[in-house]
């Protein structure tokens, strides 16, 4: 018998999240837009508040007590984030989020290393954050983009991976988990094949990091990007993990204070990694808040977090999949966290608005994945996405409300 970790009890989790006690339009809030951003526990809110009340000073420069406290808390958060994904803290760069982390690589590595004839391999299902920075990079460098297609079963089709990967491939960049489909991509297999042709690998972990344990050493990826606000932390902070030797060889992304070791009127020398990539005053409070979110998730156990979200996602697929007229998207074998669906004859925006009327927050639109929507032949989907504080009752409410929306709008 396989031993599964025990799912978390939402009754014990929910009191930590003050926003979940809200009423919306006279109904209890059912917050099901966690792929966009998550709610924050008191443990994070209090740490951020406490920082501003008792430790507020700039980091790395102030020679007084508050400055020491701020620097220790900021660098402590870097260590926590590093431990969370199995990395050395010197290979962790704080950014504004996943978008900035990927842009950092596209500028600091891509503009230096990509040349005409080189290829960057992406997939058809990427978030725009892992698509547009590469479109800009190949435009500037003369390199070319290629894409792993989506298969008929809505998982990545790796049939032609040998043709897509060659000695011309310099980088493979893909989502660890899709925000629009919930698919967990077969990254181990793709990384192994990328290695055989000498390509680097960047994983967009915006959706994976909040859902399951991440170990960048075991994954053997070169870069890993994530966003704090999607994993119970504050907005405005995320991180880029990069292999140390690559980070050493890359030029800075932005110039300014903090990222230098010395400056003359005409030139500058760079600070050590990772500070070489953290120009200007960083998002100190947010980074410390991210450290608190990491503490919170670690105390719960990421195996249990995964089990909880997998259970909720499977239940939602069962409830919504049983409704007449509903199409579910994504690869049923790996899909978790986010569940995209459409009700025949009801526009996703109308669906989301109807659901909002009964206190249920979901996302409707292209989910920053327009090429994927085109591939699916739809302009948009409705997406419910889950976190540890969601309940089966909320999913039951979603099922009832989706049926009512159809009855209201289609008269069925």
Ligand X SMILES: Cc1ncc(COP(=O)(O)O)c(C=O)c1O
Size of the site for ligand X (CB under 6 A): 15
Within positions 368 to 407, which residues make up the interface with ligand X, using CB under 6 A? 368
Does residue 99 belong to the site contacting ligand X (CB under 6 A)?
Answer: yes
Nearer CB in complex with ligand X: 55/155: 155
- Distance between alpha carbon 77 and the CA centroid of its chain, in Å? 18
- Which C-beta is closer to ligand X: that of 38 or that of 391? 38
What mask, x for binding ligand X by CB under 6 A, covers residues 228 to 267? ----------x-----------------------------
Whose Cβ is closer to ligand X: residue 118's or residue 222's?
222
Instruction: Assign residue 41 a region (left: φ > 0; alpha: ψ between -120 and 50; beta: otherwise).
Output: beta
Shortest distance in whole angstroms from residue 230 CB to ligand X = 6
Region from 124-132, 266-274, 279-287, 307-315 binding ligand X, contact rule CB under 6 A: 124-132
Q: Which of residues 30-49 bind ligand X (CB under 6 A)?
A: 35
Which helix (DSSP H) or strand (DSSP E) does residue 123 occupy?
A: strand 119-123
Q: Does 16 help bind ligand X (rule: CB under 6 A)? A: no
For the bound state, the minimum distance from the C-beta of residue 400 to ligand X, rounded and expressed in Å, comes to 28
CB of 12 to ligand X, least distance (A): 28
Residue whose CB is less far from ligand X, 125 or 273: 125
Is 88 buried (19+), middle (13-18) or exposed (0-12) by CB count in 10 A?
A: middle
Q: Out of 207, 308, 313, 342, name the contact with ligand X by CB under 6 A.
A: 207
**The tokens of 19 are what?**
């926003």
Closest distance between ligand X and the C-beta of residue 344, in Å? 27
Check residue 211 for interaction with ligand X (CB under 6 A): no
Least distance from ligand X to the Cβ atom of residue 175, Å = 5
Cα–Cα distance list, 88 to 1, 8, 79, 209 (Å): 36, 29, 8, 17
What are the structure tokens assigned to 15, written together? 């009191």
Instruction: Say which DSSP state 183 is in.
Output: P
Burial of 238-260, coded b for 16+ CB within 10 Å and e otherwise, reads bbbbbbeebbeebebbeeeebbb
Compute, in degrees rounded to 10, the torsion defined by CA atoms 181, 187, 188, 191. Answer: 170
Q: Of 179 and 381, which has the nearer Cβ to ligand X?
A: 179
Of 75-83, 97-105, 241-249, 269-277: span binding ligand X (CB under 6 A): 97-105
Applying CB under 6 A, the span of 91-99, 307-315, 339-347, 389-397 interacting with ligand X comes to 91-99
Nearer to ligand X by C-beta: 91 or 99? 99
Which helix (H) or strand (E) is 189 found in, with range? helix 187-196
**Are the C-beta atoms of residues 124 and 151 closer than 8 Å to each other?**
no
* Alpha carbon distance 372, 277 (integer Å): 32
Q: In angstroms, give the least distance from the CB of 264 to ligand X.
A: 35
Q: Which stretch binds ligand X (CB under 6 A): 125-133, 184-192, 282-290, 389-397?
A: 125-133
Pairing of strands 200-204, 169-175: parallel
Which residues on adjacent β-strands are paired with residue 227?
238
Contacts of 83 (CB under 8 A, 6+ apart): 294, 298
204 touches ligand X by CB under 6 A? yes
Among 10, 41, 97, 234, binds ligand X (CB under 6 A): 97
Q: Which residues are catalytic?
A: 368
In the numeric block, which tokens belong to residue 25? 């339009």
Nearest CA to 283 out of 126, 58, 72 is that of 58
d(CA 14, CA 356): 20
- In the bound state with ligand X, the residue whose beta carbon lies nearer, of 225 and 401, is 225
Least CB distance to ligand X at residue 231 (A): 10
Candidates 34, 71, 98, 390: give the one binding ligand X (CB under 6 A).
Answer: 98
Cα–Cα distance, 358 to 248 (Å, whole number): 52
Site string for ligand X, 161-180 (x = CB under 6 A): --------------x---x-
Strand, helix or coil for residue 285? helix
The partner residues of 120 in beta bridges, in order of sequence, read 145, 171
HSE-up of residue 325 (Cα within 13 Å, Cβ side): 16
Q: Least distance (Å) from ligand X to the CB of residue 96?
A: 7
Which of 38, 91, 129, 387 lies at the binding interface for ligand X (CB under 6 A)?
129
By CB under 6 A, name the binding residues for ligand X.
35, 97-99, 127, 129-130, 175, 179, 204, 206-207, 227, 238, 368
């Amino acid at each position: 018998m396989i031993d599964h970790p025990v799912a978390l009890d939402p009754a014990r989790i929910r009191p930590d999240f003050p926003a979940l006690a809200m009423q919306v339009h006279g109904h209890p809030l059912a917050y099901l837009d966690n792929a966009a951003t998550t709610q924050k526990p008191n443990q994070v809110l209090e740490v951020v508040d406490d920082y501003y009340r008792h430790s507020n000073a700039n980091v790395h420069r102030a020679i007084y007590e508050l400055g020491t406290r701020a620097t220790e808390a900021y660098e402590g958060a870097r260590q926590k984030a590093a431990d969370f994904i199995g990395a050395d803290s010197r290979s962790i760069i704080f950014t504004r989020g996943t978008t900035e982390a990927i842009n950092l690589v596209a500028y600091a590595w891509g503009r230096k290393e990509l040349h005409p004839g080189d290829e960057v391999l992406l997939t058809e299902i990427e978030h725009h954050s892992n698509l547009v920075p590469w479109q800009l990079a190949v435009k500037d460098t003369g390199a070319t983009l290629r894409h792993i297609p989506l298969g008929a079963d809505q998982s990545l089709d790796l049939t032609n991976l040998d043709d897509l990967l060659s000695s011309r491939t310099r980088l493979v960049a893909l989502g660890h988990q899709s925000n629009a489909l919930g698919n967990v991509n077969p990254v181990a297999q793709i990384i192994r094949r990328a290695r055989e042709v000498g390509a680097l690998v960047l994983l967009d972990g915006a959706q994976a990091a909040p859902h399951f344990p991440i170990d960048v050493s075991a994954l053997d990826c070169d870069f890993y990007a994530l966003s704090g606000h999607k994993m119970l932390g504050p907005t405005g902070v995320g991180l880029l993990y990069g292999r140390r030797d690559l980070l050493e060889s890359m030029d800075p992304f932005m110039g300014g204070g903090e990222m230098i070791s010395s400056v003359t009127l005409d030139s500058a020398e760079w600070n050590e990694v990772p500070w070489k990539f953290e120009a200007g005053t960083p998002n100190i409070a947010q980074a410390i808040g991210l450290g608190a979110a990491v503490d919170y998730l670690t105390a719960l156990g990421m195996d249990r977090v995964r089990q909880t979200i997998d259970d909720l996602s499977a239940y939602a697929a069962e409830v919504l999949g049983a409704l007449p007229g509903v199409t579910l998207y994504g690869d049923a074998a790996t899909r978790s966290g986010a569940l995209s669906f459409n009700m025949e004859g009801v526009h996703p925006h109308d669906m989301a608005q109807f659901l909002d009327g009964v206190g249920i927050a979901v996302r409707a639109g292209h989910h920053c994945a327009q090429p994927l929507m085109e591939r699916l032949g739809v302009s948009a989907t409705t997406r419910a996405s889950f976190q540890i504080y969601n309940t089966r009752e909320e999913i039951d409410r979603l099922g009832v409300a989706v049926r009512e929306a159809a009855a209201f709008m289609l008269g069925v």
